[in-house]
Structure 1
Amino acid sequence: MEIIGWIVILLCFVIGFIGLVYPIIPAVLFVFGGFIMYGLFFSFSDLPWWFWAIQSLFVILLFGADAIANAFGVKKFGGSRAGLWGSTVGLIIGPFVIPIIGILIGPFLGAIIAEILFNKSSLKKSVMSGIGSVVGFITSVFTKGIIQVVMVAIFFFTI
């Protein structure tokens, strides 16, 4: 049963890291789920209150990081609220339309299309908004990846 427990825990962590680049998967919830699985399979007493407090703060931070990084990228490159919404829609739809590379093309095209349709922006300004959405996404993935590594490291350090 111990082996099955560790397989489930590690599988949660792996899915969590896959979720960094696949937006449909709530990445941080799978990492947090791995901690809960540890408690269910082994013992919650191995994970003190401060562990849960720190991990809960990281979960809140990671949910906010996505929105902030994407908004920052679009705004930094001259995009508007329409570009932000377009990039978000593109981020969700892109991987389904074009597997793998759609994760970058989706938000890029979404921001461009939204800027042109809703703001009547020039092609140059719309493309800059699209570039900003990709920069925001990559920054978000990198940042969230580091935080998730820290979360898992704290888990292994604690147990």
Structure 2
Amino acid sequence: MDVFLMILSGIFLLIGLIGCLLPVLPGTPLSYVGLLILQLMQEPPFSTRFMVIWALITLAVALLDYWIPAYGTKKFGGTKYGIYGTLVGLFVGLIFFPPFGIIIGPLLGALIGEFLAGSDQKKAVKAAFGSFLGFLAGTFIKLAASAVMIYFYFTAVL
């Protein structure tokens, strides 16, 4: 039974890693499920404290993934309209245009928001670029968290 759980756990971790790059899959939460599956083994490899800490990290990474594009918009000179546009674009893109809507939605939302605020084209494009950089930063954070979980998987099963 433990071998089956190790294989299933590895599959979830692999799908989670892929999910960090494909917006349609919740990458980091799937990786965490992989660690949870390992806990079902006869001798769980991780402490309860370890699992709670990783649950909190997973939650933080998932929340940051939505917040960072708006932060990037703000840091690149975006107005409140651009920030709100980023958030609206994120959710609209996620719901209506998966999987690529989560990439394009915030970018277009920031651009439209800046135009509604009366920003010129240069400022609007700069704010939209900040949204895109925020998306890339969020992707990197998800990849890093999932990679660390994979590391713990290998230390547990080897």
The alignment's TM-score, normalised by the length of structure 2, stands at 0.79
Change in 2 beyond 3 A, CA 1:147/1:24: same
Which letter does structure 2 place at the counterpart of 1:48? S
Match of 1:148 in 2: 146
User: Which position in structure 1 is the counterpart of 2:136?
Assistant: 138
What's the counterpart of residue 28 of structure 1? 28
The residue type paired with residue 90 of structure 2 is L
Q: Contact 1:5/1:38 (CA < 8 Å) preserved in 2?
A: yes
Residues 88, 154 of structure 1: alpha-carbon distance in 2 compared, 3 angstrom cutoff = same
Shift of 1:70: 1.8
Q: How far off is 1:6 after superposition?
A: 3.4
Aligned to 1:25, the other structure's residue is in SS state coil
Match of 2:127 in 1: 129
Distance in 1 (CA, whole Å) between partners of 2:99 and 2:61 is 25
1:101-120 aligned within 5 A: 102-117=101-116, 119-120=117-118
Residue identity in the other structure for 1:35: L
Take 2:119 and 2:52, find their aligned partners in 1: how far apart are those partners? Answer: 45
Q: Is the 8 A contact 1:108 1:133 kept in 2?
A: yes
Give the AA of the match of 1:136: G
Q: 1:63 to 1:103 in 2, by over 3 A?
A: closer
Aligned pair in 2 of structure 1 residues 10, 89: CA closer, same or farther (>3 Å)?
farther
Residue 11 of structure 1 corresponds to: 11
Change (3 A) 1:98 1:35: closer
CA distance in 1, matches of 2:120, 2:82: 13
Give 3-state SS (helix, strand or coil) of 1:45's partner: coil
CA distance in 2 between counterparts of 1:148 and 1:98 reads 22
Q: Are the structure 2 counterparts of residues 15 and 91 from structure 1 closer, same or farther at C-alpha, using a change threshold of 3 Å?
A: farther
Structure 2 residue identity aligned to 1:105: I
Q: Is the 8 A contact 2:107 2:132 kept in 1?
A: yes
Counterpart Cα distance in 1 of 2:80 and 2:22: 23
Partner amino acid for 1:14? L
Residue number in structure 1 paired with 2:90? 91
Query: Aligned partners of 2:80, 2:13: CA distance in 1, in Å?
Result: 34
CA displacement, residues 8-66 of structure 1 (integer Å, 9 cap, x when unaligned): 212211232233234443322111111111223x2363222342143134223313432
More displaced, 2-11 or 148-157?
A: 2-11
Match status 1:47 vs 2:46: yes
Letter in 2 for 1:129: A
Q: TM-score, normalised by structure 1?
A: 0.78
Q: Does 1:61 align with 2:44?
A: no
Aligned-residue Cα RMSD (Å) equals: 2.7
SS in 1 for 2:44: helix
